[in-house]
Amino acid sequence: MSVASFIISLFGFTILAPLAGGLLAGIDRKVTARLQSRVGPPLLQPFYDVAKLWHKERWTVNNYQGFYVLMSLVFAIIAGVIFFAGGNFLLVVFILTLSTLLFVLAAYSTRSPFAEMGAEREIVQVMSYEPMVIIMSVTYYLAVGSFNTNAVLTLGRPIITYLPLVFIGLLFILTIKFRKSPFDLSYSHHAHQELVKGISTEMSGRTLALVEVTHWYENILFLGWVGIFFVWGSWLAVLLTVVALVVVYFLEIFIDNNFARVKWSAMLKWAWLVTIVCAVVNMASLNWSWLG
């Protein structure tokens, strides 16, 4: 991670990611509506939502909630900047976890029964996806020989060819990270909520706007994780990556629209099972191919 790439990423990610993320959310809602034979909201609807929230009355239930949410956004941005600057993959994962923790703390700080329930569910979600995320970054290292994300640019072929199973595991847990059904336990974008609005129940106005923006940043970062599997040192990579991202995101929307929410135990069980199978088989094969 050089200083130049850091500065480019700092401005590029900070400014472009929310634009792309908001647009992605708009496309998401439009596609979802079409899948349900509806017209759906305008493409720019997510931007209208955030702008509206920004102009709502500024209420808080305590001093701290807004602060935690703001810090959560800041660390999500830092994680993204490091990722797109070609920095250390594990560092990105750890900082993103910090961002998630701060979001959880925001909910806890309210002592609202609904928000706390959402926070507990969020923690179980983290526990479900975290092993796969860690294993993904370690297998990335095993395949590439470096934790730095810019190392893929020197490869002769994309790492999906080394890590096909890890990629499938990543897709599985991305459903949790994108907050899509069947794993949208703590917070979801769908109309009707089981527990009011889960983790964000007590957030309103600007605080909620920041939460939305944080999701946009996060979603772009996750797409970056998907994209890195298809990048190698060739211009063809751009084409392949774009196709892969479109397919993956459509797949997530498709899954979202075709599954009902499951209980936490099912989520945990399936996420861990998929992680173990994908991780172990892929890592073992990687190691053998090294030896051989």
Partner 1 sequence: MTSTGKSPWLIHYDAASCNGCDIEVLACLTPMYDIERFGIINTGNPKHADLFLVTGSVNEQNINVVRQIYEQMPDPKVVIACGICACTGGVFRDCYNIYGGVDSAIPVDVYAPGCAIRPEAIIDAVVVGLGILEERRAALDAGAALDAGAALDPKEA
Partner 2 sequence: MGSLTTLNLAFLIIFPVIAAGILLVIRNERVRGGFVVVMGALIILASITFGVRYIGGPGAYLSVDADWLSYLALAIDMICCLYVLLKGIQHKRVWAVVLALLQAVLVICFEVFLAHHVQITHEIYVDAFSAIMVLVIGVIGGGICIYANGYMVDFQKHEDEHNKPDRRPVFFSLMFVFLSAMFVIVLSNDMAWLLTGWEVTTVCSFALIGYTRTDEAIRNSFRQIYMNLAGGIAFSVALIILAAGVNGATPMLELDKLIASGGSVAVMLPVMLLCFAAFTKAAQMPFHTWLLGAMVAPTPTSALLHSSTMVKAGVFLLIKLAPCLGWGFNGVTVALVGGLTFLACSLLAISQSNAKRVLAYSTVANLGLIVACAGVGTAEAVWAAIFLLVFHAAAKSLLFLCVGTAEHHIGSRDIEDMDDLFDRLPRISRLMALGILCMFMAPFGMLISKWATLVSLADTGHLVLIVILAFGSAATFMFWAKWLGKVLAVSQSAHPVEKGVHRTEWFALGLMAVLALGLSITFPLVSQVSVVPYLESTFGWHLGSTISFDNLAIMAVIALFLFAIFIFQFIRPRKKPDIGIYMAGIGTDTEHREYRNSLSGVSQAGQRNWYLSKAFGEKTVTPPAYIVSIVLIAVGLGAAVLIGLGLIQTGGLL
CA 26, CA 60: separation in Å to the nearest integer? 28
Q: Residue 148's beta-bridge partner residues?
A: 88
Buried (b) or exposed (e) across 247-279, using 16+ Cβ within 10 A? ebbeebbebbeeeeebebeebbebbbebbeebb
User: Which two three-digit tokens encode residue 205?
Assistant: 């106005």
Give first-to-last CA distance, the chain, whole Å: 32
Binder to partner 1 among 156, 192, 265, 292 (CB under 8 A)? 192
Residues 27-46 that bind partner 1 (CB under 8 A): 29, 33, 36-42, 45
- Binding status of residue 59 toward partner 2 by CB under 8 A: yes
Binder to partner 1 among 191, 265, 288, 291 (CB under 8 A)? 191
177 contact partners, CB below 8 Å, separation of at least 6: 129, 218, 222
Q: Residue 88's beta-bridge partner residues?
A: 148
Taking contact as CB under 8 A, which single stretch among the options 107-115, 180-188, 232-240, 241-249 is the one that binds partner 2? Answer: 107-115
- What is residue 261's three-state secondary structure? coil
- Binding status of residue 268 toward partner 2 by CB under 8 A: yes
Do 118 and 195 form a contact (C-beta atoms < 8 A)?
yes
- Binding status of residue 114 toward partner 2 by CB under 8 A: yes
Residues 52-71 that bind partner 1 (CB under 8 A): 52, 55-59
Binder to partner 2 among 63, 191, 235, 260 (CB under 8 A)? 63
Q: Which of the choices partner 1, partner 2, none does residue 97 contact, using the CB cut-off of 5 to 8 A by kind? A: partner 2
User: Which two three-digit tokens encode residue 120?
Assistant: 């507990």
Binder to partner 2 among 47, 83, 84, 108 (CB under 8 A)? 108
- Whichever of 104 and 213 has its CB closer to partner 2, that residue is 104
CA 153, CA 162: separation in Å to the nearest integer? 15
User: Which two three-digit tokens encode residue 50?
Assistant: 């955030």
DSSP state of 88: B
Residues that bind partner 2 (CB under 8 A): 1, 59-64, 67, 71, 78, 82, 87-88, 90-91, 94-95, 97-98, 101, 104-105, 107-117, 119-120, 123-124, 126-128, 130-132, 134-135, 138, 141-142, 147, 196, 201-202, 265, 268, 272, 275-276, 279-280, 283-284, 287
Q: What are the residues binding partner 1 (CB under 8 A)?
A: 29, 33, 36-42, 45, 47-49, 51-52, 55-59, 191-193, 196-197, 200-205, 208
